[in-house]
Amino acid sequence: MSVPSASLRIGIAGLGTVGSAVLANLQHNAERFHAVLGRRIEVTGVSARSRTKKRNVSLDGIAWFDDPVELAASPTIDAFVELIGGAEGPARKAVETALAAGKHVVTANKALLAYHGLSLAKMAEAENVALLFEASVAGGIPVIKTVREALIGNEIRRVYGILNGTCNYILTKMQEEGASFDAALAEAQELGYAEADPTFDIGGMDAAHKLAVLTSLAFGTRVAIEEIHCEGIEHIRRADIEAADELGYRIKLLGVAQRIDGAIEARVSPVLVPKDSAVGEVSGVTNAIEIEGDYVGDLLLVGPGAGAKPTASSVISDIVEVARGDCLKPFIVPAAKLRPHKKATLGAHRGAYYVRLLVHDRPGAMASIAGRMAEHDVSLESIVQRRPRKSDAATPAKAAANNTMQLVLITHDTVEASIRRALKLIEQDGKIAGRAQMIRIETL
């Protein structure tokens, strides 16, 4: 991609905390970038919802656009930085407009890429412009460039990690301070780590969007958010945290994508990981991503997964890449050559599982549960039984908690579909209160 020697003119859509941090960085480091690149990076246009909002950054000499789509089409910019967010609406329309007009695009919008990454990549390639998205995954961690550039000589076997800092913060509070899920979530909201409506984070979709992008880059497949199996942490209780701790594990929400017999298993779900594993030791809002390559081996990237300055750092790195003029294809290989995402059979995974049940304290209940497991070839490694606290019981079982025994089972390696069938029958038999809790154990 050829780049003119004149200054690179930037338009920024979205002046929230990240957008303002990007603008401040570009202004503060203007002379440094000029010295390094041999050309200036100038912000010539901006767009945001409120022109009068107080911002700790100067807008002097910068054209204001009420409509981000108008900014995207403006002949006064060479590159469009989209920091609006959302898979549809103004963000999508503005990005498509910029690409169609032959503008380079830098975005932090994981949802937009998860749903429209393939079509946007095709547009960028057709116009011979850059589409860069380092900030869309893991905030300030340079995982996109690591996969696209540093590991280009590797065949990646697996990529996994903590992709959502909100969930990791909640689980850490439950682990280290004994907080309930609700209390930990409320504190995360008070500190600004979780939104007023936290569903997107705690339900796993935020991590799923990021994993969809990573999966495409790692395995050369089309972005396919619909193929990501997604579970959140809404059902994790203190009883699970405590039981895991006693068994030598911690509970983390992991995004995992790996090759299995020519197909790809990609999922977001809570898992038990060994306490002394790399991801097991990551606490708070920190993100961690491990990549397994055939030449590099295991590579661990740990750092801030969100926040204004870390995210702005990744946006700036993309802008500098545009200014250098050495951008690769958005998904490494041409979009037309990305392979269809062949999904591994759900439930085909073989491994060990943690199961927690609230068993009615009645004659024959334990024998019935063991029998259902045996019917489906689920072998049990350990069984721990204790009387639960009332807070351990999830609604609607809470009222019956005094008449139940908490049963924690650890299975030997088994097929996931088999244990799910066994648990479904156990629930139908009426031997347990509420739903069965099942969590995969990752040996890592």
Please answer whether residues 78 and 104 qualify as being in contact, where contact means their C-beta atoms are separated by less than 8 angstroms.
yes
Q: Under 8 Å CB-to-CB from 242, ≥6 apart: which residues?
A: none
**Alpha carbons 12 and 19: distance in angstroms, whole number:** 7
Question: Can you tell me which residue has the tokens 């990237």?
Answer: 301
Q: 289 has which bridge partners?
A: 161, 301
Q: Which of 103, 210, 252, 431 is catalytic?
A: 210
Q: Under 8 Å CB-to-CB from 224, ≥6 apart: which residues?
A: 212, 215, 216, 341, 343
> How large is the C-alpha radius of gyration of the chain?
24
| Active site annotation includes 210 | yes
CA 325 to chain centre: 29
- Please give the biggest Cα pair distance in the chain: 83
Alpha helices in 78-109 (DSSP H): 89-100
End-to-end CA distance of the chain: give it in Å, rounded: 40
Q: Under 8 Å CB-to-CB from 259, ≥6 apart: which residues?
A: 157, 158, 219
**Alpha carbons 267 and 276: distance in angstroms, whole number:** 23
Both tokens assigned to 280: 């097991």
Positive or negative: CA dihedral 180, 186, 189, 195: positive
Question: Can you tell me which residue has the tokens 């603008």?
Answer: 23
Q: Position 211: which residue type?
A: L
Catalytic residues: 210
